[in-house]
Structure 1
């Protein structure tokens, strides 16, 4: 059957839940989080009553092996597609799944009139950094990411 990428549906929530759990475990192995992650809350961002992002699922022979979540937006002066999260199961790395998910995101960006994909990557995650550089991603160090809690 091979590798396919498609938009996620509500029926994919459990598969994405499992992959999010694997992703959180991978990140915790790099450096443990100081608070637990509420995976159900994360899933509600895409599969809940008021979604703010969409998800693509990569399947190999009918089994979910990865996902990419995204939403449209603006960065600097560019219309962009933000990649919120990209994860591929360890046994499916080096199968082309990560690249296929990013290629699908680029196609969505083109359909929406965006000229760039934009994402953040944790500086302590060398596997992700190496992958993104290998597909032509460039590090933009001129701006600092800032946030403000909304209480």
Structure 2
């Protein structure tokens, strides 16, 4: 395993509604990996002006927690997470958990602690909201992300399967 690159201090701040354009820009770091590996699902280069309203809608959600990572005063990543409150029923116990929906880190900031700091921010937000678990999903092709999440303490929960028709 390679050792982490050293980085200046990492600052994590909550995202605000005015950060939609910044999130749209930072999203390119992770979207390009998805588009390269699953062009059947992801558009190659979504237009920035189409992404901004999507992030504005995310940031307007009451159940969303969003964070921006900065290093040396420059934005280098973000995380979006949704708090889910599920009532119990005849089959399931009631539960509140936080879903890490997006995590993106600039290529130059990978393996510098940015991703871990963002996950820690989501973890803390989940605890503050009374969540008992944090969950996320990883595309099967993204072995680097899978290794990152496992190193961050995540464990497999279920397996999604697909078949072309």
Aligned with 2:33 (options 18, 26, 29): 26
Aligned to 2:107: 90
**d(CA) in 2 for partners of 1:22, 1:35:** 13
| Structure with larger Rg | 2
Runs of at least 5 residues in structure 2 that lack an aligned partner in the other structure? 1-7, 87-91
From the superposition, tell whether residues 58 and 33 of structure 1 become closer, same or farther in structure 2 (CA, over 3 Å).
farther
Question: What TM-score, normalized by structure 1, do the two folds share?
Answer: 0.82
CA distance in 1, matches of 2:68, 2:41: 29
- What secondary structure sits across from 1:39 in the alignment? helix
Q: How much is the aligned-residue C-alpha RMSD, in angstroms?
A: 2.4
CA gap of 1:33–1:19, structure 2 versus 1, over 3 A, is farther
Tell me the residue number matched to 2:74. Answer: 63
**Distance in structure 1 (CA, Å) of the matches to 2:132 and 2:42:** 36
Instruction: Say whether 1:44 aligns with 2:56.
Output: yes
TM-superposed CA distance for 1:15, in Å, is 1.6
* Cα separation, 1, equivalents of 2:129 and 2:120: 14
Shift of 1:89: 0.9
Which residue does the alignment assign to 1:149? none
Per-residue CA deviations over 1:81-128 (Å, capped at 9, x if unaligned) read 111111111110111010001111111111111111011111111111
Structure 1: gaps spanning 5 or more residues: 146-151
Aligned pair count?
144
Counterpart in the other structure of 1:148? none
Counterpart secondary structure, 2:52: helix
Aligned counterparts, 1:110-125, within 5 A: 110-125=127-142
